[in-house]
Amino acid sequence: MFACAPGLPLPDGFLFGASTSAHQTEGGNTNSDWWQLEQHGAVAEPSGDAADSYHRWPVDIDLLAELGFTDYRFSIEWARIEPAPGCFSRAALAHYRRIVEYARERGMRPMVTLHHFTLPRWFAERGGWSAPDAVDRFARYVAATAPVIATDVEHVCTINEPNMVAALLPRVTAGGERPTGTGLPLPDPGLTRTLVEAHRAAVAAVRAISPTIRTGWSVASQGCQAVPGAEEVTAAYRHPREDVFLEAARQDDWIGVQAYTRTRIGPAGPLPVPEGAERTLTGWECYPDALGEALRHTAEVVGEVPIIVTENGIATADDRSRIAYTHRALDGLAEALADDLDIRGYFHWSALDTYEWGSFRPTFGLIAVEPETFLRVPKPSARWLGRIARSRTLPSAR
Ligand code: BGC
């Protein structure tokens, strides 16, 4: 269908993997704020057992390694590691340590995310990020993760998509679902400042654990595109929703780009998805060029900081569309590399069909998960992308 060669050889050390997050895959994350929200009916569907990866993680790692991937991004769950304030679970830490060690045994490099949307219930109940000691509590948790990350982990992501957290957390905790309207709500400025502070404190805590760990955070690209004449409006729209978080990464070891779609901006703000445009199962416009565009915008804002694509993918039930979308997204990546952007890795979202924050319907996975038995079934896209990972060469179609 698509020729994989000739293509662009990947730079040495380039990370090529797939991503997951704890709450979306583990199941039974009962001590987290999200579980609470789910039980109170704040979202359409609860996470339940999710993909049962809390027990089946070796199968996930085996599959990814066999498929040809060299890297695995996953998150560790604060609510499990610190189930009560100041009480750290040695068993939970040992659990995540086993994942790190097993990934290494299978020849995969683990990238560990410390916070991917979910918080311990006790932390949320004391005011979450608005509590006066929130940053210190987070830093104390990060310091406690030393047994998991001190060795064998080269990359740590402190906070996943802080811009989404700052924009959506106040709404989600108020009992609402993710807004379905156009564009992202304006992030709360106080929450933005706190998250930047929490990131800085976490970077320091990780560096104290091991100065060789490369630390960064991952920002959700808004894919902002100005229609002619709306350039200033677009810059003003984008700054608090994206750039302020990229600017905060200028002293980091890397910056994570997470790109899925675009937001077109007119003189009065975000515009609806163009009529007739193909949409994905999340309702977003199917727009694979989002990745190349996000890489270029990120490089403009962060300057010399190396970039890692920590998420990119599509929610679709048609796996051929996943291959077509990803192929085109990788073209954007290849072009950016050919233009000498310092890009160090690509992680597909997601390794598995996971719990998509309120519903299991939008399937982003390279690997299907059978809901009753949790059986994992790699899709053709998993084999296709795994072959690219193994070949260390990006296809180039343009
Ligand atoms: C998040 C993932 C999510 C994905 C698709 C990102 O916002 O990091 O948790 O599943 O995008 O919506």
Q: What spacing in Å lies between the alpha carbon of 330 and ligand 1's midpoint?
A: 19
Q: What spacing in Å lies between the alpha carbon of 256 and ligand 1's midpoint?
A: 13
Q: How distant, in Å, are the alpha carbons of 54, 279, 342, 367 from that of 362?
A: 21, 12, 32, 13
Q: Which atom of ligand 1 is nearest to the CA of 21?
A: 9
Structure tokens at 175: 């009992």
Residues 78, 135: Cα–Cα separation, whole Å: 14
Instruction: Identify the residue whose C-alpha is closest to ligand 1 atom 9.
Output: 21
Domain 7-393 class, CATH top level: alpha beta
Coil, strand, or helix at residue 260?
A: coil
277 phi, psi to nearest 5 deg = -70, 145
Ligand 1: list residues with CB < 6 Å: 21, 24, 160-161, 164, 220, 258, 311, 349, 356, 364
Tell me which amino acid residue 134 is. A
Q: What spacing in Å lies between the alpha carbon of 299 and ligand 1's midpoint?
A: 22
161 noted as active-site residue:
yes
State which of 43, 284, 310, 311 you would mutate to test the pocket of ligand 1, scoring each by most atoms of that ligand within 8 A of its C-beta.
311
Beta bridge partners of 110: 72
Beta bridge partners of 7: 395
Residues 348, 360: Cα–Cα separation, whole Å: 18
Residues 216, 213: Cα–Cα separation, whole Å: 10
pTM exceeds 0.85:
yes
Q: What spacing in Å lies between the alpha carbon of 78 and ligand 1's midpoint?
A: 18
Residues 191, 27: Cα–Cα separation, whole Å: 28
Q: What spacing in Å lies between the alpha carbon of 6 and ligand 1's midpoint?
A: 32
Query: Could you say which of 77, 82, 161, 242 is catalytic?
Result: 161
State which of 180, 281, 357 you would mutate to test the pocket of ligand 1, scoring each by most atoms of that ligand within 8 A of its C-beta.
357
* pLDDT score at 247: 98
Q: What is the pLDDT tens value at each position of the chain, 398 positions in all?
A: 444 447 999 999 999 999 999 999 999 999 999 999 999 998 999 999 999 999 999 999 999 999 999 999 999 999 999 999 999 999 999 999 999 999 999 999 999 999 999 999 999 999 999 999 999 999 999 999 999 999 999 999 999 999 999 999 877 766 655 555 578 999 999 999 999 999 999 999 999 999 999 999 999 999 999 999 999 999 999 999 999 999 999 999 999 999 999 999 999 999 999 999 999 999 999 999 999 999 999 999 999 999 999 999 999 999 999 999 999 999 999 999 999 999 999 999 999 999 999 999 999 999 999 999 999 999 999 999 999 999 999 997 56
Instruction: Identify the residue whose C-alpha is closest to ligand 1 atom 3.
Output: 356
Q: What spacing in Å lies between the alpha carbon of 125 and ligand 1's midpoint?
A: 24
135 phi, psi to nearest 5 deg = -65, -40
Q: What spacing in Å lies between the alpha carbon of 123 and ligand 1's midpoint?
A: 22
* pLDDT score at 181: 56
Beta bridge partners of 378: 367
Q: Residues 275, 258, 219, 254: is their CA dihedral positive or negative?
A: negative
Residues 366, 383: Cα–Cα separation, whole Å: 8
Instruction: Identify the residue whose C-alpha is closest to ligand 1 atom 12.
Output: 356
Alpha helix (H) residue ranges in the chain: 22-25, 33-39, 53-67, 78-81, 90-105, 121-125, 134-144, 146-149, 162-173, 189-209, 231-238, 244-247, 290-302, 319-338, 380-391
* pLDDT score at 397: 52
